[in-house]
Chain A
Amino acid sequence: MCTYQTVRVALEGSGKGQGGWFPVSVASVYFDHSVHTPADHTLNVDFLNPAQGPAARVAVELSARGARQLAEAILAALPAADPPAEPGA
């Protein structure tokens, strides 16, 4: 399938891509074709900085199970209350 479903998240942070570190401004999240993983579909996340061009990208392709575990791990790792100020704030 080609889901066409894409969730876009504006965020602040950094990623390390093929040209080194760059500021990340948006993440695209979608369950669709994989490029590298030997599976028909994967949960894909592109961390992007469109202002720096298409190569400013950190990409991951995850199994559905792995993606859920990662999401839970991220939530578990974050402070439960009173999140600290965003970077740069």
Chain B
Amino acid sequence: MYDAVMAETVTMTGDGGAAIEAYLARPLDRGPRGAVVVIHHMPGYDESTKEIVRRFAVLGYNACMPNLYHREAPGASPDDAAAAARAAGGVPDDRLVGDVAGAAALLRGLASSNGRVGVIGYCSGGRQSFLAACRLKLDAAVDCYGAFVVNSTPPESPFARPAVVGLAPQLSCPLLGLFGAEDQHPSPAETDELGRILTELGKVHELHTYEGAGHAFFTVDRPAYRPEAAVDGWRRIVDFFGRHLAA
């Protein structure tokens, strides 16, 4: 079996036609194959999230992660870039949607594409994954512990973000949600409410909450890592994308 993959930094067209940095990983066979847009967590476009992008390529997907902080901090180290983006008020929702749309277009344009594109996001990217799946035509979406989907940020927050669950009627694809029972952002009560709303709307969804895990349990380089939840979460992601992104 030929299993070579290639991973590289590329320039892609993001929201408003802006040229932004992205990390692209893909199997080197001819395909056809599905694709995944990876939305990095709030700490940024970092090494551990690039590993996730490469893992999707090894799993048989073309995968692209836009650097959401490129505009604020081109060429900066990931932690400096995250700090600069935070100081500037964070990533605007409309810009995020445009950047995911650009990554999806790049992936659909690859010669090995089967035309199907999913999205996955972690932490703040979980909310952004849900948002993108409501605003764009996608084929599958995964929300990994995204806060402020059901509840808005507190009004006094200078980082204010509105809840996005009101967009659920426009959710364009099946949703997989992976959460930690010990997380407070989002809390189990919020994710229960998300499930109730999606059921009421007749939206295809699977939400799983892991006992003994809190926020960011997929991050292998942080104390929040919980191997049992992460291993089972990856199993569910592989199964979910396998069903929805196959040709």
A55 contacts across to B, CB distance below 8 A: 76-77, 80
A48 touches B214 (CB 8 A): no
Say yes or no: is B83 at the interface (Cβ < 8 Å to chain A): yes
A38 touches B123 (CB 8 A): no
- Give Cα A1–Cα B227 distance, bound, in whole angstroms: 18
B159 touches A4 (CB 8 A): yes
Among A3, A35, A48, A59, the residue within 8 A (CB) of B185 is: A3
A33 touches B158 (CB 8 A): no
Please classify how large the interface on chain B is, using the bins under 10, 10 to 19, 20 to 34, 35 or more.
35 or more
B76 touches A53 (CB 8 A): yes
A-contacting residues, B162-206, CB 8 Å: 183-185
Please classify how large the interface on chain A is, using the bins under 10, 10 to 19, 20 to 34, 35 or more.
20 to 34
Q: Nearest chain A CB to B116's CB is how many angstroms away? A: 29
Among A26, A38, A40, the residue within 8 A (CB) of B215 is: A40
Among A6, A35, A53, the residue within 8 A (CB) of B86 is: A6
What sequence of 0s and 1s flags, for each residue 25-58 of chain B, a beta carbon within 8 Å of any chain A beta carbon? 0000000000000000111000000000000000
Given the known interface contacts A1-B183, A4-B147, the answer about A54 and B124 at a Cβ–Cβ threshold of 8 Å is no
B42 touches A54 (CB 8 A): no
What sequence of 0s and 1s flags, for each residue 55-78 of chain B, a beta carbon within 8 Å of any chain A beta carbon? 000000000000000001100110
Among A3, A38, A46, the residue within 8 A (CB) of B223 is: A38
The residue on B at minimum CB distance from A32 is B42
Say yes or no: is A2 at the interface (Cβ < 8 Å to chain B): yes
B80 touches A28 (CB 8 A): no
B124 touches A50 (CB 8 A): no
- Give Cα A35–Cα B88 distance, bound, in whole angstroms: 19
Given the known interface contacts A26-B87, A40-B216, A50-B87, the answer about A4 and B79 at a Cβ–Cβ threshold of 8 Å is no
B-contacting residues, A31-74, CB 8 Å: 32-35, 38-40, 46, 48, 50, 53-55, 57, 59
Given the known interface contacts A33-B43, A46-B87, A54-B81, the answer about A4 and B161 at a Cβ–Cβ threshold of 8 Å is yes
A33 contacts across to B, CB distance below 8 A: 41-43, 123, 216, 222
Say yes or no: is A7 at the interface (Cβ < 8 Å to chain B): yes
What sequence of 0s and 1s flags, for each residue 20-34 of chain A, a beta carbon within 8 Å of any chain B beta carbon? 000000101010111
Q: List 13 A-B contacts (CB under 8 A).
A: A1-B147, A4-B157, A4-B160, A5-B159, A8-B87, A30-B86, A34-B222, A38-B223, A46-B86, A50-B87, A54-B76, A55-B80, A59-B83
